[in-house]
Amino acid sequence: MNARIRRRRGAACRWVAAVLLGITVAMTGCATTGSPLPPEAKPLSNGTSQPSAVPGAMTAPSPSRTTPTPIRTVAPGTCADGQPVRASVDPANPMPAPGQMPPGSAMAAILDRGYLRVGITTDSPPFGSMNWRKLELEGFDVDIAKEITKTLFGTTDGRIRFQAVTTDERINTISRGDVDIIVATMTITCERKQKLRFSGVYYESGLRLLVRRNAGFTRIEDLVGFRVCSTTGSTSLAKLKNLPQPAPALVALERAANCLVAFQAGQVDAIATDDVILAGMAAQDPYTEVLPAAFDHALGNELRTLEEPYGVAMRMTGNTVSDDQFVAFVNGVLRNVMQGGRWKQIYDRWLGAELGSTDSPLAKNANWPH
């Protein structure tokens, strides 16, 4: 074998090794969407993530723990403008027919372009992840994005382009107009509503904690002196920063999958994020468990909600009439998805078989999206 062929073969081997390594790392966070989800990760009761009352919690903290500043100073679930955090624009009624969007609307611009641009999480099964067998993105959020595409174009074929976003990138990506919508386990918060528009809630998630099975941890307080991972820019990280002191050391990483890799490498001792994201991780790693009530004591009062209501995010362009029209359209899609049984199918496909049945946010709230 001459030196040139050896060099070429060496380069080819390095390339194959790099690809295999990339796939292995990515699959750590992506490959097991079909695996059973652990029952501990099921949605919190009553369709809200409000923890059960813990007598004396927060009102009588132990002397060694300081009481932190409240997250909100207004009534729970209400933003500074007096509106509920979940409130959104009324769904469009009637809805425009596919392919026939009102002239001049954001939807008409999407039709003219020929495809919908969607920001999505690619490493959070069962909400958004890459199926490496089919080489397709899949999950609850992917199916919601497809419903919006179908209502715009009458089909999804060739009409949807996904862009992977990390937790922290979501706000800038939509604000720059790089995508039309973000469907990426994104919690509706008052702070975010100052910069973006949100649909009504399409999934009620809640903050939970993943630990090694039989590690002896049941509450976040047990992790003082240990390291807890969360994603940069996430609501989970913001809530962890508000824990009473002494608190666990926080490690912020770019992606949920990075937290799982760090956890499996022994670099962190727990992961805090949304119940469904943790459910996806626990399905991939039999040596883990999702603690059902880790934050009840530390965050469980009305000013420290565990709720993580997901909404579709859209850009705030400065043209309120046009922005309202787009939000009303997306809410019309979500309303139809929730009323017509499609939400239930999507839920059952990705979560229901293992987590048990639950009603859609619309079925639980007659005033949805308010």
- Least distance between ligand GLU and beta carbon 223 (Å): 18
Closer residue to ligand GLU (CB): 153 or 203: 203
Closer residue to ligand GLU (CB): 153 or 307: 307
- Least distance between ligand GLU and beta carbon 144 (Å): 14
For position 199 contacting ligand GLU by CB under 6 A, the verdict is: no
Burial of 57 (0-12, 13-18, 19+ CB in 10 A): middle
Closer residue to ligand GLU (CB): 332 or 361: 361
User: For residue 198, what are the CA distances in angstroms to 75, 86, 327?
Assistant: 20, 9, 7
Rounded to 5°, angle at Cα 311 from 26 and 338 = 105
* Of residues 243-282, those binding ligand GLU (CB under 6 A): 256, 273-274, 277
Closer residue to ligand GLU (CB): 33 or 231: 231
CA 273/CA 281 separation, integer angstroms:
11
Tokens of 206: 């809640």
Closer residue to ligand GLU (CB): 49 or 331: 49
Collapsed DSSP state (helix, strand, coil) of residue 132: coil
Closer residue to ligand GLU (CB): 231 or 301: 231
- Per-residue binder mask for ligand GLU (CB under 6 A), 211-250, x = binder: --------------------x--xxx--------------
Tokens of 41: 């990760």
* Of residues 283-322, those binding ligand GLU (CB under 6 A): 308
Judged by CB under 6 A, the residue of 30, 118, 120, 186 near ligand GLU is 186
Judged by CB under 6 A, the residue of 185, 288, 325, 331 near ligand GLU is 185
- Least distance between ligand GLU and beta carbon 85 (Å): 13
Closer residue to ligand GLU (CB): 149 or 235: 235
CA 211/CA 291 separation, integer angstroms:
7
CA 329/CA 100 separation, integer angstroms:
12
- Per-residue binder mask for ligand GLU (CB under 6 A), 143-182, x = binder: ------------------------x---------------
Tokens of 356: 């048990």
- Least distance between ligand GLU and beta carbon 236 (Å): 5
CA 259/CA 360 separation, integer angstroms:
29
Residue 213 neighbours by CB under 8 Å, 6+ apart: 286, 287, 288, 289
Total residues in contact with ligand GLU, by rule CB under 6 A: 13
Residues 343 and 28 sit within 8 Å (Cβ to Cβ): no
User: For residue 252, what are the CA distances in angstroms to 121, 155, 187, 235, 294?
Assistant: 17, 39, 18, 12, 19
- Which spans of this chain sit near ligand GLU (rule: CB under 6 A)? 167, 185-187, 231, 234-236, 256, 273-274, 277, 308
